[in-house]
Structures are given as C-alpha cells and as structure tokens.
Structure 1
C-alpha cells in the first residue's frame, strides 16, 4: 500500500491531521518508538512515549507497546502532534546553511549520501544548537523518508561524514563499524617532531561528563581499550602532519591519543597547547586541524569496495603552504 501523507508532522499548521504510514520492507524490524522519533522530528521523547501510552498511535488499528517491532505491511496511525514554535524553528534551519550543505555533498546514490562536513558545524542539533548537519539534510531533502547518520564527527572536525538513506544501508554500515570493516583516515597537524617509529598508540580512554555537560576524555586504566595507528605524512620546522587511522571509535580518540603521545593537535581548545597555537599565528589557522580525509567501506547494496576522499578546506591548505615555505620545503 502506498503511504498516505496528509501532513508533515513537524510542519507548522493550524489544522494538524492524522498521518498514516505503510511500513516498507526496509523499515521493518525497528521498534515503534524509534520509528516515531524519525517521523516526528523535533518532538520530545517524552511526548512520543506519552502518545504511545495513551493509545493515540495505532498499528493496524490496534494499540501497541513502545517495544513493538514493525512488520512490512503494517499501517501506522500517527496522531496530530503540535510542535512548540521554538522547536519548529529548530527544525527549520537557515537557507544559507542548508545551501552550504548542498555544496558539501561529494557522493550520493539511492543508499548513501556523503558530505565533506565543514568545521564548526555540529552533526546534529542539541546542547543549545538549533542547527546540525542531519537537520539541514532533512530540510534539503524533505521528500526523503529516511536520513540517518552512520557515524559522527566532532563539531570542529571537518571531513567525510556518511549518511544512510535506507535503514538496510544503515544496518549494513553499522555492522561494518562493529566488525572493524570500515577504515577512516584523518589528517592532523600536531606539535613538534612525531617519531617515525611511533606507529600505534594504545591507551584506554575514560569519558567524563562535567557539570556543565561538557565531555572530557582522559587516558585511564579503567577506560575502554582504544587504538589509533599513525603515519607521518609531512614534517615542518615545529610541527608534523600525520595520518591517524582509529581502530576503535571512542569519543575524542585521536585528539586524546596525540596528546598522550606528547604531540597535541593544533588549535584543539580542549586538549591542545596555547603556546603551539601561538607559533602557528602566521599561518592564519584558527580552527582545529583535524580532518576526516578518507573513508573505505563496502557499499551496502552493490558490495563494491568504495574509497571516498574529502579535500582539505582553504584554511587548512593555506596553513600547510605557509609551513612549507617557513621550512624551506
């Protein structure tokens, strides 16, 4: 049965209507509460569970529990939900930012969308931020029934970001991440002369949440096992450009492992060194020099091995050009 769209649930309207969705084979297998979170953008979780408890959400005209798993062919009745005006604004990002995301797309097919995410843009809204990559993409592709992040990048980290356009693609890519079948290569500018023999950093990482809500990660024997592989790409007078390939995927892993090795990343406001940042003043660098440069994975539909690369932005390129000139290389 073809889905009947009477109204986008997050669209501001004076006459909200019931929304009926027919579940496709690709959407089957997920819990109803998770499905509603993708359908009702901007609606608080508490409200989603409230309409489930009250029986306002029906599957095949029957009440269901939040843990109900959808089956292909199910018909889901989604009640009219009025989103507070403040929340509506959060899911209606500025057109200029959406246009910038459109220009950042480096690959797209029926299953995947790949961005060269700019530094300074969060991957999703939250923590006081109304705009994130995923909100922008949903505004850019209002007809898309499914758009979900496969992985994340820190707000100040630029580079390759993978988005699934089908649930089956998301499952496949998440499995590759779990089985370490996906290789991520980052470029980082670090302080000093990185030793050529230092090819791997293995140090357990423990995440702490401060009262402010800020996440700080430290090397700690009680932390989770973590491993990053390194390769020197280029040397300068007071810095080294390294390729960092994380084997595990911990929060802030590369940033903390480089610090642990004694070579913090340039302009890292959380784990960096101001004296080193000051030495780079002439390069014009004003952002974290950490860039997700390449991603190798198996296409979830074709099975083809794909390697996608994201070029450095103008600021990072200029920084390296100045360092080469200063070093006489």
Structure 2
C-alpha cells in the first residue's frame, strides 16, 4: 500500500510519543521514515514493533540472540572538545547520533575523535556521516553489533556484522560487513520470499536461502569471505576495547582477557579529554510503499 510520507512521520511520532520525550520521538520519526525514502526499509518502519517492545522493558530474541531493553528516556551524555566521550545510557541509537552531530557541529572544531558506549541499535551510521558532511567534515564511524556472522562450516554466530560508514561532502558510504543484513532477511521472511544463495548459513553451518533458518539460529555470511570476517574482527576489537561496557561478545572478551597488553593501549588515552581548545531526488518522494500488515501493526501501536 502507498502511504503519504508526512502521514507516516506523524504516525511514527505518535507511537514513540507514548514511550519517550517529544524530542526523541521527532528524531525517530524523521530517521525511520527517511530510511524508507532512501530504500533502506531494513532500517525503517519494520523496526518499530521491536523498538516498542524494547522500550517497554522486554527483551527481543533475534534467532537466539537476546537484545537488551532500550531506556526510552535515557539521557545522552556528551562531553569533551577534540576527544569526545558519549554515554547513550541505552536509549535509542538514532537519537544518540543526532544529538552527537548537533554537538560536534555546534563546537565547530577542526577535528574530533569520538568514543561511545551504552548505545542501543544505531540504525544507519550515515545519520552521523551525512550530518557531519553538511558541516564540511570528512568522517568515519564504525560500530559493533550482536553476534550475527559466521563462515561456511562454522556453527553459531561468532562476530557482529559490524557496520562502517565514510562521509565526505557529496558522498556517503554506509555498509555492514555481511552480504545481506538481518533486517533484509527479516523483510524477506515477512514477505514469504527466498534469499539469494550464499548469504546465510543455518545453525549447522550449511548454506541456505531460507530466511527462517537465520531466525532459528543461523548466521549471516561476511562480505569477501574470511577477509570481511577479519575486518569485522578488527572493528569488534577496536570498539570493545574503548567501550568500557560489560555487554561484550564472549569470544572477544576471551581474546582481551588472554592478552593483558591491551590495557596498555587505554593508558595512552589522555586523562584530560579536553585536549585542544542522492538527496535532491529523495526530497521529492511523497509516498512510501509499505506492506499492508506492517502499516496495520503501526496504526494499532499508535492507538
């Protein structure tokens, strides 16, 4: 069914206004609908029922992987000058990214290094890189996700499909390190469609084109086979080392515990963080193509 863009934003705003601040609801309505406009429905409206469950204190199970609840009214704590620390207090990731972009653009310094922790699902990392590109910054952001990827023949999920985004004025690159995303596989499952070959394995490590196998404990395959797996590993190590979080990948926790030298890297951080003082076409889109059952679900959530 076709839905007017502004109508969709109003509905999403109404849904989130029931669980969080008006400011947060506004950011979420803009981010989720803009994801739909840009063709990234895996980061769009289909996430809302899960977000509401998480915001109501429930865990969400994505094929055996538990996602912790969201703190819908968590305060986003941002401090620093060139070296910035961010504590999202487990609120909505899109809200954290929007507030961070606003903070950095307002400071208007020449460069930044940002370290974040306690942030729920971020959605599209391009929220950050696109936002900074409008302030004439080049930027790079990477994040870890719950374990989602493995290699053919391996049982279980080993690493996150850890996304990375590069931003330059006029050019934005935003990609996860799996051939397809969990959200796109979920979308295929909802529509009753098969996946392309060689994008997931089932829980036994065998190749599959059935998205249900992913929901039942299978794993996504990385881009570039083991090379993509290695890049995901590097991002996992980098983001875990600086995150100061307890909720870490068990595999990575073992690696870090086995090597005491990694703590010496943290000692190199300054104790004082104050170190130094396609869009034009997208704007014309007025309607979204939304599955009927998803729209009905969202309307019910807004009641």
Q: Same fold (TM over 0.5)?
A: no
Structure (1 or 2) with the greater helix fraction:
2
TM-score under structure 1 length normalisation = 0.26
The structure whose RCO (Cα within 8 Å, separation 6+) is larger is 2
Please tell me whether Structure 1 or Structure 2 has the larger radius of gyration of its CA atoms: 1
Structure (1 or 2) with the greater strand fraction:
1
TM-score under structure 2 length normalisation = 0.27
